[in-house]
Structure 1
Amino acid sequence: MPTRDEAIALLHEHTKTDQLRKHGLAVEAAMRAYARKYDADEETWGMVGILHDFDYEAHPDEHPYVGASILREQGWPEEIVEGVLAHAPFTGVARDTPLKKTIFAVDELTGFITACALVYGKSLSNVTPERVRKKLKDKSFARGVVREDIRTSFEEYDGDPDEHV
């Protein structure tokens, strides 16, 4: 099994901007929290979070397919490859496991919450579910975030959407 350090090295090899690297780490943190909640393998889930966008900068039009190919060529476990593919709804990979549902659920939401934190005093502690819901209604805020994916993740989430936020 590859290590977190190897996942970080792969992220840094293919991703040059701090913003996308930080996004990978934010998604990792969310994935690890959910792995603990579901009593799942925290390392596997965390690495899916780190790697889900590692090919995006170099191959935006072929993302995440190029990343999946790289992972397979390097012998990464198929569970990680499938998780990376599952975060993007257009791949057609079914969200049929908790890991696949979770990577989809946290990807757009972590980016949105980060944007909210920048508005609310640059601290995550200032970002409440109420503030997130309010900002979700503002179409001019964080335009790059796919709100439909966030809404779908709320519908698919097994629990309270406020807890998810």
Structure 2
Amino acid sequence: MPLPSRSDALALVHEWTASESLRKHMLSVECAMRAYATRLGEDVELWGITGLVHDFDYERYPNASLGADVEHPAEGVRVLRAAGWPEELCEAVLGHAEYTGVPRVTLLAKALFAVDELTGLITASALVKPSRAVADVDVAGVRKKMKDKAFARGVNRDDIIQGAAALDVPLDEHIGIVLQAMQADAVPLGLAGLAPPPSTPPVGDA
């Protein structure tokens, strides 16, 4: 079976995931994966769609509940394999969760692991800005947030560091690649910032 289209992947995400924040996380990972595929000369569609669907089953099968073989992402990968999705994509989705024990052998799998947690940290960094805009986030700010263990506690800092190392990309450069990708897609990610307040005409001009 050829790679399903992005519209098919997006339909799958919407069918399985009601949470808007989780949907936007998958969109964030998608845009980061497309940026890395372009940078590395890889298949942009395969990489983007892998990022888009990597968490599609998470809402129904949250991890650490029933065991690694009957939870996210194993359940989702069963669905993808049954539908004939590419095995390289399925292996990468399995490998982005450490507890599955599936090794990350391909560049695709390594990149998915490297960008997953980082997109969450960048999103959180944007949402605490007064503007709530990812355009106002910079690499130095993300590094500072990484050191603040009380900030975005759910983000695994070690995964970000190990992921960049596995890609052989310096950490600051890795953050910059993902940050720039998310800034370019700020509107669909919900990170374009607050709308400006309506202008008030000067007194006497009304």
Q: How would you bin the TM-score normalised by the shorter chain? A: over 0.9
Counterpart of 2:183 in structure 1 is none
8 A Cα contact 2:74 2:94, kept in partner? yes
TM score, norm. by length of structure 2: 0.77
RMSD (Å) for aligned C-alpha atoms: 1.1
Counterpart of 2:190 in structure 1 is none
Structure 1: gaps of 5 or more residues: none
Give the total of aligned pairs.
165
Separation of aligned partners in 2, 1:150 and 1:157: 11
Separation of aligned partners in 2, 1:126 and 1:69: 40
- How far 1:159 moved relative to its partner? 2.1
- Which segments of structure 1 move beyond 4 Å, counting only runs of 4 or more? none
Counterpart of 1:54 in structure 2 is 56
Separation of aligned partners in 1, 2:30 and 2:127: 20
Counterpart of 2:120 in structure 1 is 111
Aligned equivalent of 1:70, options 71, 74, 79: 79
Residue 130 in 1 paired to residue 132 in 2? Answer: no
- How far 1:154 moved relative to its partner? 3.0
TM score, norm. by length of structure 1: 0.96
- How far 1:118 moved relative to its partner? 0.9
Separation of aligned partners in 1, 2:132 and 2:60: 29
Paired AA for residue 75 in structure 2: V
Residue 91 in 1 paired to residue 91 in 2? Answer: no
Paired AA for residue 111 in structure 2: T
92-101 vs 110-119, greater mean Cα deviation: 92-101
Paired AA for residue 137 in structure 1: K
Deviations 1:110-132 (A, max 9, x none): 01100001123322222111111
Q: Does 1 or 2 have the higher relative contact order (CA < 8 Å, sep 6+)?
A: 2
- How far 1:156 moved relative to its partner? 2.0
Structure 2: gaps of 5 or more residues: 64-70, 176-206
- How far 1:160 moved relative to its partner? 2.4
SS of residue paired to 2:105 = coil
The answer to which structure has the higher helix fraction is 1
| Seq. identity, % | 55
Separation of aligned partners in 1, 2:95 and 2:37: 16
